[in-house]
Amino acid sequence: MEEPAKDQTNQSIGSDPVEVGVPQSLARAVLSRRSEYLRPCEIRVKVGTWNVAACPGTDKDLASWFAEDVPVDKALAGLDISGDDRPRRSTESGNGEGLEPRPTSQERDKGFDLYVLGLQEVVDLNRTGEYMSRLYVDNGPMDKWKAALEAAIPQGYQLVVAEQMTGLLLLIYASPTIAPTISNVSTQQVGTGLLGYFGNKGAIATRLVLGETTKLLFVNCHLASGVGQAALDRRCWDVGQILSKAQFDPVVIGGVSDDEGDRIGDEDFAFWFGDMNFRLEGLPGDDIRRLLTLHARGEYDLSNDKPAPIEGDDGIIISRSSESDDDTTTMSSMHSRDHSFDQSFDSASSLPDPDDFPEDPSQDPASLQATIDSLLPHDQLRRVIAKQKLFHDGWREGPITFLPTFKYDIGTFGLFDTSEKQRAPSWCDRVLYRTRKDKEAHDKKLEELREAKLKDEEMRARGLEEDEDVLFSYDPDTDGEEQPPKPAYTEAYDEYDEYDDNDAGPADDAPEQATLEFYSSQQRITSSDHKPVLSTFTLRYDAVDPEKKARIHSEIAFELDRAENEGRPGVTLIIEGGHGATDGVVDFGEVGFYETHSCSITIANTSSAAASFEFLHETQTSEDDQGAAKWLKTSFHRPDEDGTKSKLGSSVTLEPGETILAIVEARVSEISHVRALNDASSKLDDVLVLRVEGGKDHFVPVRGTWLPSCFGRSIDELIRVPECGIRKFIKAKNIQGAITYDWDVHCSAPRELFKLTEVVQTMAERCVADEAMLEDMTLPRDPGWPLDAATWTVEAGRRDELKAALITALDTNAPLADALPVELLSTHKLEMYSSVLLLFLSSLIDGLVPPHLWAKLSIELPNLNTLPVTSWPDVKNHILDLLAMSPSHNIAFVFLTATLSRVAAELSPATAPGPTPGALTRRLSFRPGETEPVRKRRARERRYAEIVSPLLFRSSDDKDKAKKDRQRIVLEMFLRKDDRS
């Protein structure tokens, strides 16, 4: 096969040149040399469009006009425009027809690579109610037409697109040779019907890529119907909506993606077809029907002395378009549906004598083509193109040499609309096409016009009417000659001017990228009021040669590898302090909740170039587990001469021979991560990536063994843990994941909660006693202490260590009092006990008040915010009755609230010490019977309720402020003690 010419095609998918040796994507580098592995290709495309009017049995007619292996009835369908087929005498005496034999359908159709079928009105949507109800797509019509088309086309063709939008249906099949080269198929539906978006009108648009290089676009449309200016304006609006709304997915070639998706106009070849509904205007419909009916009956030419055929006889009309239509020959034949085409075409007596043909049938007023030519200036589609309203930007259409496609009486041959509306015949069903070169030629003309207009405006602003170089460009030899006419796209449309089909052709002499071979209607199909329209094309483009691409890929990979290995920086890693014996792996051993483990990695620059590097965390856990990505922290340190370590930034540069220390810390502190580790949906198994700029990356596996924890579990799980503690229980029973209901219940509420509430209450009493005994001991007076983290006095850097010790004691059933250092102040111990208690409450999956209990409580007590305090005791009893539905939750709730109430009463007693003798006393009262100590205790109780209530209750909406107030009131009810206590 010949090498492709450099200017043969203008491919749409390209990339910028890439310099080998620069770090880059291999796929992008291969794409930059694409011109070296392209080969010229040629495919044939058959495009058919038909408005089947929801008529039954239309699928049975598909094979007779669209399939490849069925001859195209040229005598009835129209012209074969693939070459110069003007009638001429045969050189053989045996040819009784007097014409050289035309090529058969099989000789012309040597196989199609793409079958594209666009149908309209495949479902009946005549009533408005049906439009509104069809928000879904019924696949029945699609399946029926797919079966009909697959039965008609050759075997082995593969389905590329099957898309239905209400009554619109687009089917695309590819040959076994072409199908593997098709990629990036993207289909969009644009509804323009009822309310401006329903699918009874609109388009289905499909973009696909051939051979990794060439974009093809197919648009099957059904525009607004009706006659008159309003209907025409609506059709124009429909097209505008399709153009603006159709956007396709980005094209991905070799792993390289476009930045944005394509729109209509970005393709290399485009085909727009369907029932466009453009009508003939300015002519009486009765006259058009009468004239075309005479042609169909063969009665129009009164000079013909042969007897006119009556209905049922074979009547054939053969005509040819004018020389301006590229000497394209048209042959239209009308005959009765009672006689087959083969009978009428093979009968010598039914054919006219070749001597009777005029030199140019289109110039004969009695010819069918002359009639068609007289009607086309009134075609709305051609008018809007000439007025530059629609399809003027490079779109082309083949010569129309066939009868109008609409509207016929169903089941009749050549009988136009005889209904009450008596619609004028029109070419409603069309096939337009465009190449990228056509679009670029139009855009270039527009740009030239804009530049000329700007230049004229600039000249007028300077007071000049003509160009300054007019004296230099003056040619006296051409002075006085007529100026060439203005281009068609700059002149207003004259309805009496003949439309030139060749105006939209390519602007240069380059080979045609798209060749139209055949364009005609199929008159013999009578099962719909529309005639199907068929068009065939040959497309030429450059496609990827897989063998050449593989060779280029190998060459580029070798060059990139060689370039990257020469002079690239490199480092060596030495792992120290791990628990495992595997080289190159950081193993932290057993890791518990809130425990901190560390490991050091020595990094040395062992290359001859400076190396800059940093750590990237590549988590291997579930994407939904947000806590897993936070359990590892890395930092760089440079050892100083005095033995200390100076912490550096996240990115470090080492000169050749230098070393540095990297510290990797592991600490699980997120509740979501703890829950995932407990139920075995996540593991402590990650990978640290040391990214060396311009060099080889290093992957450091990091692992640990999770120690099961009582945190991050439900109450139903914890009541099944025996006294030995959860770690021993899980290990002894080899439990993987959550603790199921199969295990026996060992306690009425979580044992960990009993221990925490007991130690908090005991330590609160100890703090009050210490304050009374020690002169330098003063308890914080903030009403939120010791539950409010903002009031804690323990050093922030030491809190995690102390908290981890208490968590370990809970998980191993060790005494909490022994978990903290003896020398620690009682206030600090109380703060740490309180912090672990809050952490435990927040980690419970179901909370102390599960969602179903809170929902029931909210329904039965909707007005908690307005209840008087005097009614609280009765409400408390009702709440306890509701919580009794879940005994374990009820007991845990009562234990916790009782503990918090005692702590509040201990730290803020309701009675103050007696007055000093002789001192002046004054009773402060804010409400009847409320003393200053009582007020302080009420403030502490309220503050405790505000802090703890969000941790106890579980509900669907955690952002509802009114709900949070109700939860706080419920908890405050149980914390409040009688003023007399």
Per-residue pLDDT reduced to its tens digit, 287-316: 888 888 777 666 665 544 444 443 433 333
CA distance 425 to 417: 8
Strand, coil or helix: 219: strand
| Residue 540 β-bridge partners | 42
Question: What's the predicted TM-score (pTM) here?
Answer: 0.50
Closest CA to 941 of 906, 900, 898: 900
Asked whether the CA dihedral 466, 470, 471, 474 is positive or negative, the reply is: negative
619: pLDDT strictly greater than 60: no
Phi, psi of 859 (to 5 degrees): -75, -45
Q: What average pLDDT does the chain have?
A: 78
Strands 597-605 vs 571-576: parallel, antiparallel or unpaired: antiparallel
Q: Domain 751-911+923-975 belongs to what topology?
A: Phosphatidylinositol 3-kinase; Chain A (1.10.555)
- Whole-number Å distance between alpha carbons of 17 and 421: 63
| Span of 184-188, 634-638, 802-806 with lowest mean pLDDT | 634-638
Nearest to residue 785, comparing CAs of 893, 904, 901, 896?
A: 904
Between 198 and 841, name the one with better pLDDT. 841
pLDDT score for 122: 93
pLDDT in tens, 813-828: 999 999 999 999 999 9
The domains of the chain are located at: 571-706, 751-911+923-975
C-beta atoms surrounding 5 within 10 Å: 11
Instruction: State the DSSP H helix or E strand holding residue 274, giving kind and residue range, or none if neither.
Output: strand 269-275
Burial pattern 297-306, b for ≥16 Cβ within 10 A else e, equals: bbebbeeeee
Angle at the Cα of 957 (from 621 to 868), degrees rounded to 5? 145
H or E segment and range at residue 432? strand 429-435
Q: Using CA atoms, how far apart are residues 329 and 398, in angstroms rounded to an integer?
A: 12
pLDDT score for 353: 52
**How confident is residue 193, by pLDDT bands cut at 50, 70 and 90?**
confident
pLDDT tens digit string along 661-705?
Answer: 999 999 999 999 999 999 988 899 888 999 999 888 889 899 999
- Indicate the pLDDT class of residue 762, thresholds 50, 70 and 90: very high
In one-letter notation, the amino acid at residue 285 is G
Rounded to 5 degrees, φ, ψ at 570 are -150, 150
Beta bridge partners of 236: none
List, in order, residues 6 or more apart from 64 with CB less than 8 Å away: 70, 524, 525
| pLDDT score for 643 | 64
Judge residue 361's burial from the number of C-beta atoms within 10 Å of its C-beta, 0-12 exposed, 13-18 middle, 19 or more buried. buried
Number of other CB atoms surrounding residue 198 within 10 Å: 18
Residue with the bigger pLDDT between 351 and 695: it is 695
Least confident of 178-192, 328-342, 499-513, 876-890: 328-342
For 56-80, b where at least 16 C-beta lie within 10 A, e where not — what string?
A: eebbebbbbbbbbeeebbbbbbbbb
Please compute the mean of the pLDDT values over residues 242-270 and round it to a whole number.
Answer: 87
Q: What is the C-alpha separation between 148 and 153, in angstroms, rounded?
A: 9
Q: Which fold has domain 571-706?
A: Immunoglobulin-like (2.60.40)
Non-local (6+) Cβ contacts of 69 within 8 A are 106, 152, 154
